[in-house]
């Protein structure tokens, strides 16, 4: 099983959109995928059509040692969802000492079965204990970055945070960058892409996800792009992105 946290401390970069649609794309390629909604706001659950998700979810795994399987919900063929749960915000209040507070999710994943090909975690736009748990638990992070200089500044801050946690992990943390919400015709976007290529050679996903109104509309109807506009450019991009992930394709 490959575990990936979709992460960026900056909001508005498309983390939830990426998690939902990439997860569904992987499932359409025959992979067994589990998505974890690690944001107390529960946006991932709504994006998959669970506008009233179960009250128990990943909060029970982290706070009460429940199994991931016991709180998983089947949403599409090959695609399971672990909702946030009503008490996920309480994780930030944990009184355990030191690094143990950041290992709650890792321990829950270690108790999980091995029948999954991919586990994707939709992280909150913050640098608190929930994000720390995701970083400590996964094999790698996928960082959506927008084509502007604020996106670059946010990335530098995040990479510094990842380095700090990597020392505590005692194992490498893979990093991939995804160009998200890209407006390809903007000169600024081209400049930012150029800088990213220089600073992160071999780490940028081959397929970029461009800004599109249809992607913004999908969560409101609880559908992925493959259900809402299956013939759209965005659907083709997420299909290609899934292949990138499976085959390890990166931007040259």
pLDDT at 209: 95
Give percent of the chain with pLDDT exceeding 90.
Answer: 71
> For residue 246, which of 1, 26, 18, 23 has the smallest C-alpha distance?
26
In the predicted structure, residue 149 carries a pLDDT above the cut 70:
yes
Confidence of residue 147 (pLDDT cuts 50, 70, 90): confident
Q: Are 206 and 250 in contact (CB under 8 A)?
A: yes
Residues 208-221 pLDDT 10s:
999 999 999 999 99
Q: Give the Cα separation of 231 and 216 in Å (integer).
A: 16
Q: What is the pLDDT of residue 155?
A: 84
- State mean pLDDT over 86-103: 83
Q: Taking residues 117-125, report their average pLDDT.
A: 96
Q: Report residue 244 CA to chain centroid gap.
A: 15
C-alpha 57/C-alpha 55 separation (Å) is 7
pLDDT of residue 55: 93
Name the average pLDDT for the chain.
92
CA distance 22 to 28: 10
Q: Please say if the pLDDT value at position 150 is more than 80.
A: no
What band does 185 get if pLDDT is binned at 50, 70 and 90? low
What percent of the chain stands above pLDDT 70? 96
Instruction: Delineate the domains of the chain, giving CATH numbers in brackets.
Output: 2-247 (3.40.50.300)
pLDDT at 11: 82
Indicate if the pLDDT at residue 101 is higher than 80. Answer: yes
Q: How far apart are CA 127 and CA 135, in angstroms?
A: 10
Q: Are 43 and 18 in contact (CB under 8 A)?
A: no
């Amino acid at each position: 099983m490959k575990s990936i946290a979709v992460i960026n401390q900056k909001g508005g970069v498309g983390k939830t959109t990426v998690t939902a649609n990439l997860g569904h794309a992987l499932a359409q390629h025959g992979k067994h995928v589990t998505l974890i909604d690690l944001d107390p706001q529960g946006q991932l659950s709504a994006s998959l059509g669970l506008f009233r998700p179960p009250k128990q979810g990943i909060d029970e795994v982290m706070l009460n040692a429940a199994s991931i399987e016991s709180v998983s919900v089947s949403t599409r063929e090959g695609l399971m969802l672990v909702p946030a749960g009503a008490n996920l915000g309480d994780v930030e209040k944990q009184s355990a000492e030191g690094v143990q507070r950041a290992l709650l999710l890792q321990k829950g994943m270690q108790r999980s079965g091995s029948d999954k090909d991919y586990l994707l975690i939709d992280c909150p736009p913050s640098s608190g204990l929930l994000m720390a748990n995701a970083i400590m638990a996964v094999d790698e992070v996928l960082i959506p970055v927008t084509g502007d200089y604020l996106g670059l500044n946010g990335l530098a801050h995040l990479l510094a945070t990842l380095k700090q946690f990597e020392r505590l992990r005692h194992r490498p943390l893979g990093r991939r960058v995804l160009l998200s919400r890209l407006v390809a015709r903007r000169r600024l976007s081209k400049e930012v892409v150029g800088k990213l290529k220089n600073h992160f050679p071999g780490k940028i996903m081959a397929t970029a996800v461009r800004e599109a109104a249809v992607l913004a509309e999908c969560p409101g109807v609880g559908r992925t792009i493959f259900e809402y506009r299956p013939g759209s450019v965005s659907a083709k991009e997420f299909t290609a992105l899934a292949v990138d992930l499976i085959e390890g394709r990166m931007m040259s």
